[in-house]
């Protein structure tokens, strides 16, 4: 009994890389399960067409919030780790700048939405504009999560991340039980929880960081200097994840948007392992040497592949049945698209982990260049292939773009960081470490 309690305490409170990764993985797994439950409710109650309308309403607040971070979350983690004695000033500056970014996102969304959703009815357009208000707490929460991560308080950061889908699921259940679940109320269920959760995070961090407001431009310039170099990567990561959905909203019917949204979101379940590792990897490697940085990154990639490849094979074989069982028979036709996106999400996760090595080495600009290369290929491919081949074309374009980004990151290690290619051959030590992790949990 005492041994079991010790394991639980280590997982929930430990700050070493392994326990922090497990904490983050468990939180992301819970988020994944909650998102699947939310998707089941909306898909079964609204159907493909209604699910597409809901996705169109939410798309722009999420897209613009993710597009106007200006790299502040990355910059805050980097400078808090590099200069912990100035953490209060950096936190205050990042908080103010993220609030300004949120206001910019709201204004941009109100202008863009009527143009982008011109094929949708007036109610959908107007609701999407009102939902842009969520961009402000959304952007602030990204900075708040980064502040938790910078202090390596991953348990608090993870808690804030899974509170949002938990409250969303509660709202969806209430609306469905009362027979009032519509595309509008479903969209509101995703938006309303963001404000109280952001306020809870702010209260906890205010006590810890004790922000000091200053008129000195030094902190703002420092954050922008690093942030803008990381911003391109941040921006293009957001766009690459949402681009295919933007194209489908513009070119195809709401039912197609509903099918693609389900296939895309369900395939992201595999990203839980690599995203968990990446969340922990950047704060842990920002203060260590290049050789240790590369060794940790390579091992994280190898272990993630050991976990993900078998799971992806099973999901690929059973994709049609799973989609039909979870979301309804109408969504079985998205099975082939789902299989392509499964392959893409594995490559995307490897690229994400490799990117952490460049970010920790102070080369965020190179990650931006990598994303530009992928997007330069991905945008015309998505428009061309989605317009001609529909959902499958959009999925294949996403796969090609991700493959190019991963290849560029891999080939650039010797040229950019002056190190050897990270070894991806599985080693005995990887299996030993994985066995220890499993044994400790």
Q: What is the DSSP string of 399-422?
A: HHHHHHHHHHHHHTIIIII--PPP
SS3 (DSSP) at 30 = helix
- For residues 406 and 354, give the distance between their C-alpha atoms in angstroms, rounded to a whole number: 8
Who contacts 43 (Cβ-Cβ below 8 Å, separation ≥6)? 51, 258, 262, 327, 328, 331
Give the lowest-confidence range in 137-151, 187-201, 278-292: 278-292
Give the lowest-confidence range in 135-139, 271-275, 307-311, 400-404: 271-275
pLDDT mean over 72-100: 85
- For residues 49 and 259, give the distance between their C-alpha atoms in angstroms, rounded to a whole number: 9
- For residues 281 and 361, give the distance between their C-alpha atoms in angstroms, rounded to a whole number: 12
Residues 58, 61, 63, 65: is their CA dihedral positive or negative? negative
Check whether 402 has a pLDDT greater than 50: yes
Instruction: Give the up-direction half-sphere exposure of residue 276: CA atoms within 13 A in the CB hemisphere.
Output: 28
* DSSP string of 291-356, one letter each residue: HHHHHHHHHHHHHHHHHHHHHHHHHHHTHHHHHHHHH-GGGGGGHHHHHHHHHHHHHHHHHHHHHH
Q: 163: how many CB neighbours lie within 10 A of its CB?
A: 18
DSSP helix, strand, coil percent of the chain (3-state; round to 5)? 90, 0, 10
pLDDT at residue 239 in the model: 61
Check whether 392 has a pLDDT greater than 80: yes
Element (H, E) at 76: helix 72-82
The residue among 40, 47, 32, 48 whose CA lies nearest residue 337 is 48
Q: Predicted confidence band at 301 (pLDDT cuts at 50, 70, 90)?
A: confident
Q: What is the 3-state secondary structure (H, E, C) of 349-388?
A: HHHHHHHHHHHHCCCHHHHHHHHHHHHHHHHHHHHHHHHH
pLDDT mean over 364-392: 76
pLDDT mean over 86-90: 86
pLDDT tens for residues 314-331?
888 887 787 877 777 777
Q: How far apart are the first and last CA of the chain?
A: 14
- For residues 144 and 162, give the distance between their C-alpha atoms in angstroms, rounded to a whole number: 14
Check whether 98 has a pLDDT greater than 70: yes
The pLDDT > 90 percentage for the chain reads: 0
The residue among 328, 244, 254 whose CA lies nearest residue 53 is 254
Residue of 124 and 371 predicted with greater confidence: 124
pLDDT at residue 221 in the model: 85
- For residues 432 and 352, give the distance between their C-alpha atoms in angstroms, rounded to a whole number: 24
pLDDT at residue 312 in the model: 82
Who contacts 234 (Cβ-Cβ below 8 Å, separation ≥6)? 66, 69, 70, 71, 73, 74
Q: Predicted confidence band at 411 (pLDDT cuts at 50, 70, 90)?
A: confident
pLDDT at residue 349 in the model: 81
Q: Dig out the tokens for 199 from the structure.
A: 């306020």
Residue of 406 and 307 predicted with greater confidence: 406
Q: 165: how many CB neighbours lie within 10 A of its CB?
A: 21
pTM: predicted TM-score of the whole model, two decimal places: 0.58
Q: What are residue 361's phi and psi, to 5 degrees? A: -85, 5
The pLDDT > 70 percentage for the chain reads: 78
**Residue holding tokens 């709401």?**
254
pLDDT at residue 397 in the model: 85
Give the lowest-confidence range in 249-263, 278-292, 400-414: 278-292
- For residues 297 and 206, give the distance between their C-alpha atoms in angstroms, rounded to a whole number: 32
Check whether 341 has a pLDDT greater than 80: yes
Q: What are residue 205's phi and psi, to 5 degrees? A: -75, -30
pLDDT at residue 18 in the model: 60
pLDDT at residue 2 in the model: 46
């Amino acid at each position: 009994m005492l041994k079991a309690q010790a394991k639980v305490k280590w997982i929930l409170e430990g700050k070493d890389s392994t326990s922090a990764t497990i904490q983050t993985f468990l939180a992301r797994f819970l988020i994944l399960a909650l998102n699947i439950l939310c998707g089941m409710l909306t898909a079964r109650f609204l159907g493909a067409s209604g699910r597409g309308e809901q996705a169109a309403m939410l798309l722009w607040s999420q897209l613009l919030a993710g597009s106007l971070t200006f790299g502040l979350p990355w910059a805050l983690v980097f400078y808090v780790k590099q200069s912990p004695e100035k953490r209060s000033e950096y936190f205050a500056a990042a908080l103010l700048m993220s609030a300004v970014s949120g206001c910019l996102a709201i204004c941009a969304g109100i202008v863009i939405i009527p143009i982008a959703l011109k094929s949708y009815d007036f109610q959908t357009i107007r609701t999407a504009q009102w939902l842009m208000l969520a961009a402000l707490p959304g952007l602030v929460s990204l900075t708040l999560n980064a502040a938790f991560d910078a202090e390596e308080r991953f348990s608090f950061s993870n808690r804030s991340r899974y509170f949002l889908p938990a409250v969303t699921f509660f709202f969806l259940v209430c609306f469905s039980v009362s027979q009032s679940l519509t595309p509008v109320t479903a969209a509101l269920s995703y938006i309303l929880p963001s404000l109280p959760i952001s306020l809870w995070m702010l209260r906890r961090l205010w006590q810890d960081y004790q922000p000091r407001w200053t008129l000195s431009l030094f902190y703002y310039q420092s954050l922008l200097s690093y942030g803008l170099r990381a911003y391109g990567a941040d921006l293009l990561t957001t766009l690459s994840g949402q681009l295919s959905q933007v194209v489908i909203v513009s070119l195809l019917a709401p039912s197609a948007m509903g099918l693609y949204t389900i296939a895309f979101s369900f395939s992201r379940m595999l990203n839980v392992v690599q995203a968990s590792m990446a969340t922990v990897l950047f704060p842990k490697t920002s203060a260590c040497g290049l050789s240790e940085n590369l060794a940790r990154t390579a091992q994280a990639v190898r272990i993630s592949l050991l976990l993900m490849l078998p799971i992806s094979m099973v999901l690929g074989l059973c994709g049609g049945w799973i989609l039909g069982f979870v979301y309804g028979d109408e969504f079985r036709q998205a099975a082939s698209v789902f299989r392509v996106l499964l392959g893409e999400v594995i490559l995307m996760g490897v690229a994400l982990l490799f990117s952490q090595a460049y970010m920790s080495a102070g080369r965020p600009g190179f990650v931006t260049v990598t994303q530009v290369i992928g997007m330069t290929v991905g945008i015309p491919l998505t428009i061309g292939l989605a317009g001609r081949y529909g959902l499958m074309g959009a999925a294949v374009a996403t796969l090609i773009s991700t493959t190019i980004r991963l290849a560029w990151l891999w080939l650039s290690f010797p040229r950019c960081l002056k190190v050897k290619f990270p070894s991806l051959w599985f080693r005995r030590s990887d299996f030993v470490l994985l066995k220890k992790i499993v044994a400790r949990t």
